Amino acid sequence: MKAEGRITTASGNRRRFATAMAAPPFVILAVMTAYPLIFTVLYSFTNFQLLRKTVKFVGLKNYIKLFTNEYFLQSIGVTVKFTVFAVLFEVAVGFIMALFVESIHRERTAKILRVLLLVPYLLPSVTVALSWRMMLSPNYGIINRTLEALRLPVYNWFSDLHTALPMLILIDIWQNAPFVFLLLYAAMQSVPQSQYEAARMDGASYVQQVRFITVPGIAPVLALCALLRTIDSFRIFDKVNLLTGGGPANSTTTITQYLYAYGIKNLKFGFGSAGAIIMTLIVLVLSCLYIKKAVK
């Protein structure tokens, strides 16, 4: 009788402890994510504007407006272009960096290189954007000055239709390839050395070793990098907003930049919410493979 009482208080205590521990974080997450998600969906079917008193249910009107809006459709295209190029090059450059540092046998040198090459990734993206903006400045920027001295063509990089988006992509690669490098380098170290030794005995060249041992050995991490970079590139906003503001002629307006300019800044929250829902659905479709795997 007595013993039973003790067990029930023990499990009661345990339950109370678990509730006390888990309740605050999940209440916060509910308030900060579940509540806004539900309301973004609700708002998207209304003509909600912050400064207007009346809110009316308008059905699918916001969605129809978005899908017939040339600029919104263009922003999806720009985002896809940005994501495809940024992710491809970030993974490729990160992979080459990792192979290079992996090929250095002096451990101390490799360690120092690893942290120095990581620096761009650690900087605030606002700082990155501004330092590149100053270097690329048409008036006093070091890059145009150097190009002039070499008698090469110079551009007004962020206002030229041909260079604005490639420049944004380039800066994003500069900042984020080091992240891919770090993950791939860590993965390469866990590929067993014995496999390389066996391959060398069979007379495999360096390229063959990379192709048949390194790449298969790090394939899951390679996929993870591509996915993480896709998720982040797809929401690109800070560099766009700071460097081009979406211009010239909307050629760099990504989805988030579009929603910020036409749904949030001008307080047309119903319209903005519909755009946010469309973007959310695209992102979920893009990452559904990963989600499926993580659930297992």
Partner 1 sequence: MRGHVIKNSLKLLFGALLLIISLFPVYWLFVMAVQPSENLKTPCLYPAAFTADNFISLFAESGFLQPLKNSVIITLISLLFSLTFGLAAAYILARRRFSNRWKSGLSFYILIIRILPPVAFTIPLYTMFNRTGTLKTLFPMIMACILINLPMIIWFILGFFRQLPEEVEESAMIDGATEWQLYCRIVLPLVLPGIAAVAMLSFMSAWNEYTYSIIFVQSPQKYTIPLALAALNSEDNLTNFGLVSAAGLISMLPAALFVIFAQNYLIAGLSSGAVKD
Counting contacts by CB under 8 A, is residue 47 touching partner 1? no
Counting contacts by CB under 8 A, is residue 118 touching partner 1? yes
166: nearest Cα among 84, 265, 268: 84
SS3 57: strand
Counting contacts by CB under 8 A, is residue 256 touching partner 1? yes
The only residue of 9, 12, 32, 56 in contact with partner 1, by rule CB under 8 A = 32
Counting contacts by CB under 8 A, is residue 92 touching partner 1? no
Residue 94: Cβ-neighbour burial (10 angstroms; 0-12, 13-18, 19+):
buried
The only residue of 9, 13, 205, 208 in contact with partner 1, by rule CB under 8 A = 13
The only residue of 5, 8, 68, 124 in contact with partner 1, by rule CB under 8 A = 124
CA separation for the pair 168, 15 (Å, rounded): 52
162-201 binders of partner 1 (CB under 8 A): 174, 178-179, 182-187, 190
48-87 binders of partner 1 (CB under 8 A): 50
Distances (CA, A) of 51 to 65, 131, 238: 21, 38, 26
Question: Which CB atom, from 84 or from 126, has the smaller least distance to partner 1?
Answer: 126
CA separation for the pair 146, 153 (Å, rounded): 10
Least distance between partner 1 and beta carbon 289 (Å): 12
Counting contacts by CB under 8 A, is residue 229 touching partner 1? no
Counting contacts by CB under 8 A, is residue 203 touching partner 1? no
47: nearest Cα among 71, 35, 33, 65: 65
